[in-house]
């Protein structure tokens, strides 16, 4: 679990709070990084700008990406990630308020692994986030990393 890391890209502090609370309630709050716009998200991922010097060998297990972001929006961030070898296969979950077909189509076309709408009711929100964490951190397999559930098997 130690090398498991979640990157939350969220500009709304309330949503950030709710997401963190949900992850914490699900017991997945060990290593959660939060960036507040698209540009910072890229800086973090590639160790540039404000995040220069960060160990870029350590990539997030999953990125929870909002679509509506200051500077660069979620789709732009996703496109940049998919163009770079370091982040090409990093799982990205679009976590957004939008239920527009267009947003979904664009997200999947840009290489999103999942598209989840934020529920309004907090109880539902907790449920969604914990399920996401469980799936991407514990069940989903990516090269070079053993999933938690299978490590002892």
Partner 1 sequence: MSGLRLRSVRTKLFVGVLVTSLAAILITGASLLAYDLHNVRRALTDDLGTQAELIGRACTPALQFDDSKAADDNLALLKVRPNIDAAAVYNGKGAMFGHYVRDGAAPETYPMLGGGEDEVRFSGQDIFVNRRIIDDSHEIVGFIYMHAHYNVFDRARSYLGIVLAVGSMALLVALLLSLWLQLTVTRPILNITGLAQQVVERGDYSPRAEKITDDEIGYLVDAFNRMLSEIGGRTEALEASNRELGHEIAERKGAELALRHSEKRYRALVSTLSTVVWAANQRWEFEGEQASWEAYTGQSRNEYKGSGWRRAFHPEDQETLDRFTESASKGQQTYEVELRLWQAASASYRIVGLRPVAVYDGAGEFREWIGTVTDIDDRRRAEDEVRRLNVELEGRVRDRTAKLEEANSELESFSYSVSHDLRAPLRAIDGYSQALILDFGSQVNEKMRNYLDRIQAGTKRMGQLIEDLLSLSRISRHQLERRPVDLSAMAEQVLQELQQREPERKVQVSVWDGIMVDADPRLLKVALENLLGNAWKFTSKTPDARIEVGMVEEGVRHTIFVRDNGAGFDMAYADKLFGAFQRLHGVNEFPGTGVGLATVQRVMFRHGGRIWCQAKPDKGATFFFTLQEDNPAPVVASSSSAQHPLRLD
Residues that bind partner 1 (CB under 8 A): 12, 14-15, 17-18, 21, 67-68, 96-100, 118-123, 125
| Shortest separation between residue 80's beta carbon and partner 1, angstroms | 22
Q: Which is nearer to partner 1, 39 or 95 (CB)?
A: 95
* Alpha-carbon distance values, 91 to 122, 135, 141, 152 (Å): 25, 11, 10, 23
Give DSSP secondary structure letters for 70-94: SSS-HHHHHHHHHHSTTTTT--EEE
Q: Cβ closer to partner 1: 120 or 153?
A: 120
Residue 102 CB, nearest approach to partner 1 (Å): 9
* DSSP one-letter code for 130: H
Alpha helices (H) in 7-145, listed in sequence order: 13-25, 38-46, 74-83, 101-109, 122-133
What's the closest the beta carbon of residue 118 comes to partner 1, in angstroms? 6
Q: 11 or 31: whose CB is closer to partner 1?
A: 11
């Amino acid at each position: 679990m130690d090398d498991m890391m979640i990157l939350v890209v969220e500009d709304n502090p309330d949503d950030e709070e709710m997401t963190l609370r949900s992850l914490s309630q699900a017991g997945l709050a060990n290593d959660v990084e939060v960036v507040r716009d698209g540009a910072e998200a890229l800086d973090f991922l590639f160790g540039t700008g404000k995040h220069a010097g960060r160990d870029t060998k350590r990539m997030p297990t999953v990125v929870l990406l909002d679509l509506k972001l200051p500077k660069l929006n979620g789709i732009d961030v996703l496109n940049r990630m998919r163009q770079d070898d370091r982040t090409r296969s990093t799982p990205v979950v679009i976590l957004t308020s939008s239920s527009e077909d267009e947003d979904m189509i664009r997200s999947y076309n840009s290489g999103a692994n999942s598209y989840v709408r934020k529920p309004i009711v907090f109880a539902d929100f907790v449920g969604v986030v914990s399920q996401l964490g469980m799936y991407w951190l514990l069940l989903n397999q990516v090269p070079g990393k053993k999933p938690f559930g299978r490590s002892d098997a």
